[in-house]
Amino acid sequence: MSTTTKKRNGLSKALKRFYGVGDCGFTLMSNVESYYFQIFLTNLAKFSPATAALIGTITTTVDACLSWIYGAIINSVKPGKWGRYRSWLVMVPWIIPFLYAFQFIKIGPEPLAAVIVVLAFVSSHVAWNFPYVANVAMISVAGKTPDERAQLASTRGAWANFSKVIFSYICPVVATFFAGIVGETNKYGATAFVLACVMAALYYAHFKMFDGYEIVEDVDAAKAKIKKQEKQKGGLLKALVQNPPLMALMLADLAKFLFNFVVAGSAAYYFLYIAKDTDDKLLAFYILISNIFCVVGSYAAKTLAKKFSSRNTVISMFFIMAVVLVAANFLYGSINVVIVLMSLAQLGYGVAYSLTPALYADTIIYAEWKTGKNATGWISGLQNVPLKLGVLARGIVIPACLAVANFEADAVDLNNVAPELEKAICLAFMIVPAIALVVAALLMLFGFRLTKEKVIQYQDEIAARKSAA
């Protein structure tokens, strides 16, 4: 029997203003990995390039393979004391700091250290994906109307974007502080622990905000729902296979995330070996400026989409970003110019990132029009796959580019960096992402032919079918 302690309707002031602080903490925590994991492996832990590549490949491959399971597990296990979704916001986050820290700590000889890093990476990501999925699901649980759900999603996005800006201030300061306590090698381990604690505390704030918004489900009813969903798997698979726009979009989305993660992961190499930024001040400045541009792009996206359509805006942004990256490669020795150009590319990423969910929504309509099956949940969940594969690409692309120049951290003289290493770094920082973006733009141009007019037509035909049924 369903029960609840204090049923609430309508969004509280706390949810309207502060839902998303947990996502702010989550992004602060995960950005330690995005910006510093690769350089930790090669320069601080001093793993060989082959070992660093192996660590990156194993961890991100496992993470990508597991990306499908979290929602299914949450929906199939017995609901927790505080509800099926809300309970995960308090049950798991406190474990994450202890797992995540060991992802940035080297213990013992290289083989043992590599195993520890891999286990810490996989276990911490498994742990944080449960509250992450549950947190997003609470938008649908608490938001009873489209306006309420839009309010929650918008506030969440604002806090998540804000975290990108403050990260540039917080992380370098915290890392420098801990370098004097735990040593240079382990400074990011301590930083990861502290920011993961912040994330856990802010997810607890979400837990408190959602008090009274979720009804505890009956276990038998939940199991019946799962069985019903399993019977629809054939139709859901058809929604993917018979949906060329969706497949083109997912590949383009992979290129978008490859840009995001490879550029973030290779920035530290550019500023250390080309900009000679030994104290990370320029890197911190770049992270700040580029993320401000990214936030500006996310806010400009809605206006651009209204004028040019989401599809056309995204295609244009991919081409423009590629051109900007190529220009930055030719001018890689002019540090200030590179910061401006790479920040402009991040502005384009902010636009594309904000509009991609709308394009997935178009493929949902196309799938229902073509197959007669409503695959909303299935297709929405597929958005997580390109993201995970983008992380996987980072672990492959950056070590591969560095291997072109036979990179070994101990062998590099900062006062006399070989031109081959500079070119290899620019290959990862600018050229490979530019190529990926051109491919993405072409995939969208020729593979994603869902114009605004066609989508409206499909919606009208779906509505007519339902009326006639």
Q: What is the pLDDT of residues 312-348, one digit of tens each?
A: 999 999 999 999 999 999 999 999 999 999 999 999 9
Mean pLDDT, residues 26-46 taken together: 88
Query: Please, what is the average pLDDT of the chain?
Result: 84
Q: Which of 317, 290, 269, 315 is nearest to 446 (CA)?
A: 315
- How confident is the model at residue 204, as a pLDDT? 94
pLDDT digits (tens, 9 = 90+) for 113-129: 999 999 999 999 999 98
Tell me the sheet residues that pair with 216: 3
From residue 272, alpha-carbon distances to 114, 146, 198, 463 in Å are: 24, 47, 29, 58
From residue 56, alpha-carbon distances to 39, 109, 237, 391, 400 in Å are: 12, 18, 30, 9, 11
* From 31-45, 252-266, 434-448, the region with the lowest mean pLDDT: 31-45
What does the chain come to in residues?
Answer: 469
Whether the CB-CB separation of 200 and 98 falls below 8 Å is answered with no
Instruction: Decide: residue 407, CB within 10 A, 0-12 exposed, 13-18 middle, 19+ buried.
Output: buried
Mean pLDDT, residues 136-144 taken together: 70
Provide the residue type at 20 as one letter: G
pLDDT at 354 over 80: no
CA–CA dist 292, 384 (Å, integer): 24
Whether the CB-CB separation of 425 and 273 falls below 8 Å is answered with yes
Whether the CB-CB separation of 20 and 205 falls below 8 Å is answered with no
Question: Which residue has 């890197």 as its token pair?
Answer: 283
pLDDT digits (tens, 9 = 90+) for 421-455: 999 999 999 999 999 999 999 999 999 998 878 87
pLDDT at 193 over 90: yes
- How confident is the model at residue 224, as a pLDDT? 55
CA–CA dist 41, 61 (Å, integer): 17
Cβ within 8 Å of residue 404, ≥6 positions away: 420, 424, 427
Range with top average pLDDT, 209-213, 219-223, 261-265, 383-387: 261-265
Q: How confident is the model at residue 8 (pLDDT cuts 50, 70, 90)?
A: low
- How confident is the model at residue 3, as a pLDDT? 45
Tell me the sheet residues that pair with 80: 83
Alpha-carbon torsion (442, 330, 391, 302), positive or negative: negative
Q: Which of 146, 156, 147 is nearest to 205 (CA)?
A: 156
If one compares 259 and 4, the residue with the highest pLDDT of the two is 259
Provide the residue type at 347 as one letter: L
From residue 467, alpha-carbon distances to 368, 369, 456, 464 in Å are: 15, 14, 17, 5
Two tokens, residue 87: 């309970």
Whether the CB-CB separation of 134 and 74 falls below 8 Å is answered with yes
Mean pLDDT, residues 363-385 taken together: 73
If one compares 196 and 307, the residue with the highest pLDDT of the two is 196
Two tokens, residue 346: 């991040």
pLDDT at 146 over 50: no
If one compares 365 and 15, the residue with the highest pLDDT of the two is 15
CA–CA dist 230, 225 (Å, integer): 9
Provide the residue type at 459 as one letter: Q
If one compares 142 and 218, the residue with the highest pLDDT of the two is 142
Question: What is the 3 state secondary structure string of 121-144?
Answer: HHHHHHHHHHHHHHHHHHHHHHCC
pLDDT digits (tens, 9 = 90+) for 288-305: 899 889 888 877 877 887
DSSP codes, 143-197: --SHHHHHHHHHHHHHHHHHHHHHHHHHHHHHHHHHHHHH-STTHHHHHHHHHHH
CA–CA dist 237, 234 (Å, integer): 5
Mean pLDDT, residues 169-196 taken together: 90
Q: How confident is the model at residue 307 (pLDDT cuts 50, 70, 90)?
A: confident
- How confident is the model at residue 315, as a pLDDT? 97
CA–CA dist 326, 29 (Å, integer): 31
If one compares 240 and 304, the residue with the highest pLDDT of the two is 304
Tell me the sheet residues that pair with 83: 80
